[in-house]
Amino acid sequence: MYSQGLNQPTEASADSPEQARFQARIDAEDKIEPNDWMPDAYRRTLIRQISQHAHSEIVGMLPEGNWITRAPSLRRKAALLAKVQDEGGHGLYLYAAAETLGVTREELVDQLLSGKAKYSSIFNYPTLSWADIGAIGWLVDGAAIMNQIPLCRCSYGPYARAMIRVCKEESFHQRQGYEIMLTLSRGTEAQKAMAQDALNRWWWPCLMMFGPPDSASQHSDTSMQWKIKRFTNDGLRQKFIDATVPQGHFLGLTFPDPALRQDPETGHWQHGEIDWAEFKTVVAGGGFQATDRLEARRKAHDEGAWVREAALAYAAKRQARKTAA
Amino acid sequence: MSTEITPLWEVFIRSRGGLAHRHVGSLHAADATLALQAARDVYTRRGEGLSLWVVPSNAITASDPTDRDMLFEPTASKIYRHPTFYEVPDEVGHM
Ligand SMILES: [Fe+2]
Ligand SMILES: [Fe+2]
């Protein structure tokens, strides 16, 4: 998830015998491991996708971290702190998976901090009220779960294993968010209005998390053929909407989409037009919080530099002493 | 970009008493003490284990995947290594 299908199209031609053997292994649901032969394009696609995913987990700590000190109770504060810590953990599992493909952690971090790498556009939206923390857990983590569950069966072993760990932890994220929304929507008029406002602002950006419509995304075919991806963007988006709309109605809230209606035959919820121009602007770092997000990451990285340097210097000194003794 | 590379460690967890340590993932840390602390934070936030091992990744020697057939295929033909290869009359009972 979180990679939003920003990847460039890649060729997966099966012209060499290695490539044919590789594809046969994928077709047989065999997992590809770091030391196995793989086409360069498969490696590149995975490095880009896994690192974008990792960056998204790391940047994703910021909008929620913004509310830790202002959580309305100790219970909420402890939960939010644990959730944000989990997201940091998710970033670390994923960086480690990307590194098995031959890229260093230092390069990956540098790509994020220099603005070269992309991360999910959802984290460039601001968290304006406490209800946003509820909406993020319920909707953003809910969308993430939809995207991440099929990734547990991804053809690349280290990515699939990292996703299994991540998915185990996500359920708590979504439930604590929904509980916040439920409490607010059963509260005072002002609290209910706050929950409605958060849903109004987060709904469309969450639908965009699944990436461009299938008609406009060219890389899906190759990723599907390689079993990096199992469902199309539109397919996952539909699953998310179908699961989420009844949950919103249970809260007594409305969705900011006048065209939203349930197809009586298929049972699927049909949605209105998504504003893809906004999506492109936010992915490209335009408007909203993009500058703040990267600045916050750079500041944390720079201010932690002395700790990393001291730890390495101490380790080197101890090592030298051991060798001398 | 940081010029110095922080070493990579492999993390193993014993999930319950009586079970072996199992590989769960990897992490970066300057030394063994920090690697253990990081492993505790990154891999055991929900009671995943009772004991941790961290091993420098470069201390691991791995078999080459292209040698897989040479190393492991011959065992496929050695069916006499399995108990079911041997005939024991039913009257003898479970063995
Ligand atoms: Fe996450
Ligand atoms: Fe999450």
* Interval A253-280 mean pLDDT: 94
Q: Which residues of A touch B39 (CB under 8 A)?
A: none
Domain assignment present for B93: no
* A312 touching chain B per CB within 8 A: yes
Q: Which of A138, A324, A171 is nearest to A245 (CA)?
A: A138
Which residue from A36, A105, A161 is facing B28, i.e. has the nearest CB? A105
The answer to whether the CB atoms of B65 and A161 lie below 8 A apart is: no
Tell me what pLDDT residue B4 has: 75
Chain B positions touching chain A (beta carbons under 8 Å): 1-2, 4-6, 8, 24-31, 34, 41-42, 45-46, 62, 64-66
Domain assignment present for B68: no
Q: What's the structural domain count of chain B? A: 1
Which residue from B42, B46, B65 is facing A36, i.e. has the nearest CB? B65
Q: Which residues of B touch A89 (CB under 8 A)?
A: 41-42, 45
Domain assignment present for B95: no
> Token digits for A146?
């939809």
Task: Using CA atoms of A49, A142, A145, A102 in order, give the dihedral in degrees to the nearest 10.
Answer: 30
| Residues A147/A236, Cβ–Cβ less than 8 Å | yes
Tell me what pLDDT residue B69 has: 87
Instruction: Write the Ramachandran bin of A2: left for phi over 0, alpha for psi from -120 to 50, otherwise beta.
Output: left
pLDDT band at B73 (very low <50, low <70, confident <90, very high): confident
The answer to whether the CB atoms of A162 and B25 lie below 8 A apart is: yes
pLDDT score of A311 more than 60: yes
The answer to whether the CB atoms of B5 and A106 lie below 8 A apart is: yes
pLDDT score of A283 more than 60: yes
Q: Which residue of A has its CA nearest to B45?
A: A86
Cα–Cα separations (whole angstroms), residue B67 to A18, A144, A154, B72, B73: 16, 39, 25, 8, 10
Q: How many CB atoms within 10 Å of residue B61?
A: 5
pLDDT tens digits, one per residue of A121-147 = 899 999 999 999 999 999 999 999 999
B13 contacts: CB under 8 Å, gap ≥ 6: B21, B22, B24, B43, B44, B48, B49, B51, B52, B53
pLDDT tens digits, one per residue of A205-239 = 999 999 989 888 665 688 899 999 989 999 999 99
Angle at which helix A157-185 crosses helix A233-251, to 10 degrees, equals 20
Tell me what pLDDT residue A55 has: 97
> Token digits for A28?
């047989």
Which residue from B2, B5, B45 is facing A89, i.e. has the nearest CB? B45
Q: Mapped to the 3 state alphabet, what secondary structure does A225-241 carry?
A: HCCCCCCCHHHHHHHHH
pLDDT tens digits, one per residue of A70-108 = 999 999 999 999 999 999 999 999 999 999 999 999 999
pLDDT band at A187 (very low <50, low <70, confident <90, very high): very high
Domain assignment present for B71: no
d(CA A141, CA A135): 9
Name the most confidently modeled range: A65-79, A206-220, A285-299, B65-79.
Answer: A65-79
The answer to whether the CB atoms of A82 and B31 lie below 8 A apart is: no
Q: What percent of chain B has pLDDT over 70?
A: 97
Domain assignment present for B18: yes
Q: Which residues of B touch A300 (CB under 8 A)?
A: none
* A280 touching chain B per CB within 8 A: no
- SS percent in chain A: helix, strand, coil, step 5: 65, 0, 30
Q: What percent of chain A has pLDDT over 70?
A: 93
CA of A13 to the centre of ligand 1 (A): 34
> Token digits for A212?
């461009």
pLDDT band at A5 (very low <50, low <70, confident <90, very high): very low
Q: Which residues of B touch A312 (CB under 8 A)?
A: 4, 6, 30
Q: Which residue of A has its CA nearest to B6?
A: A312
CA of B83 to the centre of ligand 2 (A): 48
CA of A61 to the centre of ligand 2 (A): 9
Q: Report the CATH number at residue B49.
A: 3.10.20.520
The answer to whether the CB atoms of B30 and A36 lie below 8 A apart is: no
Tell me what pLDDT residue B3 has: 61
CA of A86 to the centre of ligand 1 (A): 7
d(CA A292, CA A59): 11
Domain assignment present for B55: yes
Tell me what pLDDT residue A284 has: 73
Q: What percent of chain A has pLDDT over 90?
A: 81
Instruction: Output phi, psi for A232, to 5 deg.
Output: -80, 165
Q: List, in sequence order, every beta strand (DSSP E) within chain A.
A: 261-262, 269-270
Q: Which of A210, A174, A179, A178 is nearest to A86 (CA)?
A: A174
Q: Give ipTM to 2 decimals.
A: 0.84
pLDDT band at A9 (very low <50, low <70, confident <90, very high): very low
Residue A157, H or E segment:
helix A157-185
Domain assignment present for B72: no
Say which residue the tokens 């209105």 belong to. A272
* Interval A39-53 mean pLDDT: 96
Q: Which residues of A touch B65 (CB under 8 A)?
A: 33, 35-37
Which residue from B8, B30, B46 is facing A311, i.e. has the nearest CB? B30
Q: Which of A131, A252, A129, A256 is nearest to A186 (CA)?
A: A252
Domain assignment present for B13: yes
* Interval A116-124 mean pLDDT: 90
Angle at which helix A157-185 crosses helix A189-208, to 10 degrees, equals 150
Q: Which residue range(s) make up the domain with B12?
A: 8-61
* A22 touching chain B per CB within 8 A: no
Across chain A, mean pLDDT equals: 91
| Residues B86/B36, Cβ–Cβ less than 8 Å | no
Q: Which residues of A touch B42 (CB under 8 A)?
A: 89, 92-93
Count, residues in chain B: 95
| Residues B35/B54, Cβ–Cβ less than 8 Å | yes
